[in-house]
Amino acid sequence: MNITRENIDELNAVVKVDIAKEDYEGKVDKILNDYRKNANIPGFRKGHVPMGMVKKQYGKAVLVDEVNKLLQEGLNKYLTEEKLDVLGNPIPKEQKDFDWDKDNYSFEFELGLAPEFEVNLDGLDKKVTKYNIVADEKMVNDQVEHLQKQYGKMKTKETAEEGDTVAGVFKNEEEGIENETSFELSKIKGKRNLNKFVGAKVGDTLSLKTKNLFEDDHDLINHLSVDHDRAHDLDVEVTFTINEINERELADLDQEFFDKLFGKDQVKSVTELKDKIKEDAAKQFQQQSDQQLMNDITEKLIEQTNFELPKEFLQKWIQTVGEKPLTDEEAVEEYEKSEKGLRYQLIEGKVVNDNELNVNFDDLKAFTSEKIKQQMAQFGQTDPSQKELDDIAARILSNQEEVKRLSEQLMNEKLLEFYKEKVKFEEKEVTYDEFVKAIYK
């Protein structure tokens, strides 16, 4: 077998694979001899079928199969040994006059080559903002009140006010609706609907329209007992008869309340409670801030790292890789959708390789064990043994899908820490509302 390469340009090449008769003849003859020994053909004893008959019946299929095996093995070995960084997969060139009855064969493949480029992290300086999100006083106070409501007691009332919970029955005989339910008035959409409830008393029957009744249309599924598809388009009159009105009294900010939230004597004052809420919020906000930072870095790297891609090759390759072939127009459209992602894959790969950020098994095992430990802590298991962690990690890492998922998470963390260390960001302290406005402006 002989393999040669012709470079068309920096991004495209053609590889020619020549396979001679001596490359495949021995393997083909061995397989045909095995067929002959085991063939059951009427009129011949087993093992005594004429080789000519075996070749006529099986020879072409065996030849094609063995040549294709040699071709794939040789091509893969060549790409590895030559250290060619190819995009997509080699595309076989069409040969109109190909003849399997010849002894020697030549095959040609088009290659798309990855471009050479450098990633300049210095160019990101002051172009990316690192948001430090803090919980402001209003957010902390709102969370305190939410927790007081959550752990407070229900008090029955005669007249409804905003924030109350009402229980009753929705009805519409023609639509077959009759369902007993309860809900907080905060779920009602719009002042017009809410005003029908405010001031209403136990025993009152309200007339309502289902369209835009709740903030979330999916609430109609539970409160009217209708199916999902019907809930989205439902626009009918219903009545709601109030059977009960309840107000949730706020729990007292005392030690019993603090212990219910965080465990005995972990928090001993309102100040400590607010500090704890701020601390927990900071952890949650950090994840959002980090994700946004990663998104912004990705966008900037794609924007400032310029290189050409073998566009025509990739469009041709995209036509062949799906379940069904794409038209030229469909392939162009698909390429345009995926080009940005491909560019970042190449940039990320360059950063990873140049800075030796690769994930090894020990890294992955330690990362998995830490994730397990965090999850166990959420369920009160704060001190698992190393053997427990190792056993669970081993089960998880025996699943290839989990290995892929966790490896991607770990690589993302390594990249983020690398960027935090190497790039000089413009840091900005913001409230959560300010963060949302800045991101979605």
pLDDT tens digits, one per residue of 381-411: 778 888 989 999 999 999 999 999 999 999 9
Confidence of residue 154 (pLDDT cuts 50, 70, 90): confident
* CA distances in angstroms from 257 to 17, 96, 149, 163, 265, listed in the order given: 77, 82, 11, 22, 11
Confidence of residue 50 (pLDDT cuts 50, 70, 90): confident
**Mean pLDDT, the chain, as a whole number?**
91
Residue 168 CB-density burial (10 A; 0-12 exposed, 13-18 middle, 19+ buried): buried
Q: Which has the minimum average pLDDT: 2-16, 34-48, 89-103, 266-280?
A: 34-48
For residues 116-134, average pLDDT: 87
pTM: 0.71
For residues 299-321, average pLDDT: 93
Helix (H, G, I), strand (E, B) or coil at 363: helix
Confidence of residue 57 (pLDDT cuts 50, 70, 90): confident
Q: Does domain 2-113 have CATH number 3.40.190.10?
A: no
Indicate if the pLDDT at residue 152 is higher than 80.
yes
User: In CATH, which of 1.10.287, 3.30.450, 3.30.390, 3.10.50 is domain 154-248?
Assistant: 3.10.50
Q: What is the dihedral of CA 310, 313, 314, 320, to 10 degrees?
A: -170
DSSP H helices in 235-322: 255-262, 270-304, 311-321
Helix (H, G, I), strand (E, B) or coil at 138: helix
Report d(CA 432, CA 135) in Å as an integer.
Answer: 7
The domain segmentation of the chain, as residue ranges, is 2-113, 154-248, 267-307+355-439
- The answer to whether 405 touches 366, Cβ cutoff 8 Å, is no
For residues 89-113, average pLDDT: 92
Nearest alpha-carbon partner for 133 in 271, 291, 267, 272 = 291
Report d(CA 181, CA 201) in Å as an integer.
Answer: 17
Structure tokens at 80: 């590895």
Nearest alpha-carbon partner for 4 in 116, 107, 115 = 107
Cα angle 299, 303, 306 (rounded to 5 degrees) comes to: 135
Q: How many helices (H) and strands (E) does the chain have?
A: 15, 11
Query: Do the domains at 2-113 and 154-248 have one common CATH topology?
Result: no
Q: What values do phi and psi take at 21, rounded to 5?
A: -55, -40
**What proportion of the chain, given as a percentage, has pLDDT over 70?**
100
Confidence of residue 34 (pLDDT cuts 50, 70, 90): confident
Residue 61 CB-density burial (10 A; 0-12 exposed, 13-18 middle, 19+ buried): exposed
